[in-house]
Every structure is written in structure tokens, then in C-alpha cells.
Amino acid sequence: MTQDLTVGKPISRIWQFAVPVLFGLLLQQVYSLVDTAIVGHALGVMALGGVGATGSVNFLVLGFCGGLCTGMAIPLAQAFGAGEYRQLRRYVAGCVWLGLIMSAVLLAVTLPGTRGLQKAPDGQTEPPGREHPRDVQGCGGRRCRRHQPDQYVPGLRH
């Protein structure tokens, strides 16, 4: 069912368009909250710090994709408004292909850079807490002080 948003009372049409968008944004926030709760409770403080550290990279990629979609909305809206449905289909197909290509490019650019983000503060490849406490070199079979989470998160105590 296609609705013409240019006919009728403007305020009701704006709300009709805005409510699903706001609902989608709310669901994204709920996803982030649930993700944080699950990672924090199930995987611990260090994993939760890793989720937080990737937030800016995630925002960069999603912001780029959002800007790309916003830019493509102009020709789509013009074709739809003019009733040129054949041209509209071509634009939609082009958007799908552009999205797939840009996803591959962003994956190729960001994936190699994430290896550096996975380094622990002391240069190890595994962050503290991932290894078994008895496997830590120089601890003599006991848990090392340098691998306590409160060293990396001030004020955190077990």
C-alpha cells in the first residue's frame, strides 16, 4: 500500500512518517542496552570494555552508511514523485548494488585495522582475563596482580 505524504494535513503526515523512524531508533537503543547487559554479566568487565572501545568504529561505519542512504533518497523520491516507476526500480537496484559494494569496501578497510584494537594494554594478543590464571607467565601458579580488572577500570573491586 503506497501513501502519498504530500496530500492531507501536514502534521498528521509528519507523525505518520516519524513514528516508525523513532520506533526504529528506540529499538537500536534497546539492542545496545541488552548487548551491554549480556556482555557485562556473561563475559565480564574486560569484554564490556572491548564493546565500548568499538563504539566509535561502529558509529563511523553506520554513519557512513546512513549518509549514503540519505543521499540516495533524493533521486528515489524524485522518481517516485514523478511517477517514473521504471526509473525508481533502476535506482533501487543501484542502491542495492552500491550497498553491497560499499559493505565489501568497508569490510576490507576496517577489518585489518581491528587487529590493533584487540591488543591488550601490555602488548599481549589476548586481553587479560582470557587466559587461565595459572597460564600467566611469572605468577607461579597464582593470579597476578597485573591482570586484575581493577587495574584497568579504576574503582572496580571484586
Residue 34 to residue 39: CA distance in whole angstroms: 8
Answer yes or no: is pLDDT of 5 > 80.
no
Residue 39 to residue 45: CA distance in whole angstroms: 8
The model's confidence at residue 126, banded by pLDDT at 50, 70 and 90, is low
**Res 141 pLDDT > 60:** no
Phi, psi of 83 (to 5 degrees): 75, 15
**Percentage of residues in the chain having pLDDT higher than 90:** 16
Percent of the chain with pLDDT over 70: 71
Say which residues have a Cβ less than 8 Å from residue 119's Cβ, sequence separation at least 6: 125
| Mean pLDDT within 121-150 | 49
Residue 38 C-beta-side C-alpha neighbours within 13 Å:
6
Is a pLDDT exceeding 80 seen at residue 124? no
Closest CA to 128 of 143, 141, 115, 112: 143
Q: What is the pLDDT of residues 8-42, one digit of tens each?
A: 888 988 898 899 999 998 998 898 888 888 888 88
Across the chain, mean pLDDT equals: 76
The pTM score is: 0.49
Report the 3 state secondary structure along 15-31: HHHHHHHHHHHHHHHHH
Buried (b) or exposed (e) across 45-64, using 16+ Cβ within 10 A? bbbbbebeeeeeeeeebeee
Longest dimension (CA), the chain: 76
Q: Which of 134, 136, 132, 135 is nearest to 146 (CA)?
A: 136
Whether residue 95 has pLDDT greater than 70? yes
Tell me which H or E stretch contains 114.
helix 85-117
